């Protein structure tokens, strides 16, 4: 039997449980799918002290070895993450012991990745310098501010930059692990593993962490939030600033100021983002032609559809459909 690929997941006290168990389960299922003749995976959890590990959920895991016991070569080295939140103050946890070990231990790994806020540990260890990277949207701005040498993209579910992979929050670690399986064994094996786990298999790396309506967090009776929901449900309506202001019984100028304070966006920019999201869903889920997608999403013409995709996503509608359908 061929030797399995060695996967080491580095963890520390307070880490997110699913940051560890999510990718571990993906590699385990992929090993079963590959069968006895295939090259599977052997997953190990490594911590500074070894023994029991208390996760953020209160569930305890048992590590396989200490960081100092991690010897030999590693196929895939993954770093889990943790976030602390006190009211509006959100911080990614930097475990100094893990960070120091990464500086010494990472060269042994063929492939390196982080799950959720684990990207902050890779950054602290200098492993993301000059790379594109993502992390949980709650801490992406902090990562960019602390590390201007990294091109931080807060939206994608995961990013591969050379041999270094980073992903967004928690469950996206499973999407990234599936992509790694696809790289190692092909799309068919990754798809088979996803089916066994009943995973939503459309989430490829370039897709967004969250939808446009979810970007406005407010009580359900908030009039601006209600308007944003209505915009998402009626992309073909007249959504000009004047029409929206009339719907809110406000002057266009007063409406624009109020909308900007609540959403951080102009009405026109928000409407374009909502229509673009509608177009993305249609490209992913339907067989509509590009003119039909443009009309149904409210973007109007194929020219406008192309312009929005190029400006916001740096791709074409046809390429987006090919990648994410």
Task: Give the model confidence (pLDDT) of 88-115 as tens digits.
Answer: 789 999 999 999 999 987 668 999 999 9
268 lies in the same domain as 311: yes
Phi/psi for 123 (5° steps) reads -65, -45
Provide the pLDDT for residue 200. Answer: 57
Contact 234, 243 (CB under 8 A): no
- What mean pLDDT value characterizes the chain? 89
Domain final residue pick, 136, 171, 196? 196
User: Is 80 a domain residue?
Assistant: yes
- Say yes or no to pLDDT of 202 above 90: no
Which of 196, 231, 251 is the last residue in one of the domains? Answer: 196
Does residue 57 fall inside a structural domain?
Answer: yes
| 214: pLDDT strictly greater than 50 | no
Q: Tell me if 206 is assigned to some domain.
A: no
Same domain? 170 vs 303: no
Give the domain CATH number at 165: 3.40.50.880
Tokens linked to 110: 């063929």
Range of the domain at 273: 213-324
Shared domain check, 80 and 46: yes
Assess whether 173 and 291 both reside in one domain. no
Q: Has residue 134 been placed in a domain? A: yes
**Paired sense of beta strands 60-62 and 52-54, if any:** antiparallel
Together in a domain, 82 and 123: yes
Q: Does 207 fall in a domain?
A: no
Name the domain count of the chain. 2
Residue 201 lies in a domain: no
Both 144 and 265 in one domain: the answer is no
Per-residue pLDDT at 108: 81
Question: Is residue 15, in this structure, part of any structural domain at all?
Answer: yes
Same domain, 30 and 112: yes
Please name every residue paired with 111 in a beta bridge, in sequence order, or none if there are none: 76
- pLDDT of 321 over the 80 cut: yes
- The CATH number of residue 243's host domain is 1.10.10.60
Burial of 19 (0-12, 13-18, 19+ CB in 10 A): buried
Same domain, 242 and 161: no
Q: Are residues 183 and 253 in the same domain?
A: no
Q: Mark whether 172 and 231 lie in a shared domain.
A: no
Gap between the Cα atoms of 179 and 87, Å rounded: 35
For residue 160, tell me if it sits in a domain: yes
3 exposed, middle or buried (CB, 10 Å; 0-12, 13-18, 19+)? Answer: exposed
Q: Does this model's pTM top 0.85? A: no
Domain boundary among 163, 196, 229: 196
Same domain, 160 and 44: yes
Identify which has the larger pLDDT, 189 or 14. 14
Asked whether residue 117 falls in the same domain as residue 225, the answer is no
| Contact indicator for 198, 205 with CB cutoff of 8 Å | no
Looking at per-residue pLDDT, the higher value among 220 and 44 belongs to 44
């Amino acid at each position: 039997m061929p030797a399995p690929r060695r996967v080491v997941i580095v963890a520390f006290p307070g880490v997110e449980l699913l940051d560890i168990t999510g990718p571990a389960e993906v590699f385990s299922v992929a090993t079963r799918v590959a069968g006895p003749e295939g090259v599977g995976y052997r997953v190990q959890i490594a911590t500074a002290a070894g023994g029991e590990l208390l996760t953020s959920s209160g569930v305890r895991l048992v590590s396989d070895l200490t960081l100092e016991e991690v010897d030999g070569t590693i196929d895939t080295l993954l770093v889990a993450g943790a976030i602390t939140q006190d009211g509006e103050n959100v911080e990614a946890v930097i475990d100094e012991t893990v960070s120091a070990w990464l500086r010494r231990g990472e060269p042994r790994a063929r492939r390196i990745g982080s799950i959720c806020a684990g990207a902050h540990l890779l950054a602290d260890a200098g492993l993301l310098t000059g790379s594109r990277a993502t992390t949980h949207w709650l801490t992406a701005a902090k990562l960019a501010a602390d590390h201007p040498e990294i091109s931080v993209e807060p939206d994608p579910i995961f990013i591969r930059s050379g041999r270094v992979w980073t992903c967004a929050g928690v469950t996206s670690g499973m999407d990234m692990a599936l992509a790694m399986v696809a790289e190692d064994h092909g799309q068919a094996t990754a798809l088979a593993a996803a089916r066994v786990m009943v995973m939503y298999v459309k989430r490829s790396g370039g897709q967004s962490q969250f939808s446009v309506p979810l970007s406005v967090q407010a009580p359900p009776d908030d009039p601006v939030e209600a308007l944003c929901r209505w915009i998402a449900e009626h992309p073909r309506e007249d959504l000009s600033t004047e029409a929206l202001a009339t719907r809110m019984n406000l002057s266009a100028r007063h409406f624009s100021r109020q909308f900007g304070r609540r959403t951080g966006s102009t009405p026109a920019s928000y409407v374009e983002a909502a229509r673009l999201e509608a177009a993305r869903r249609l490209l992913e889920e339907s067989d509509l032609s590009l003119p039909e997608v443009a009309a149904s999403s409210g973007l109007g013409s194929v020219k406008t559809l192309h312009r929005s995709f190029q400006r916001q996503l740096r791709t074409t509608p046809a390429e987006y459909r090919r990648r994410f359908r």
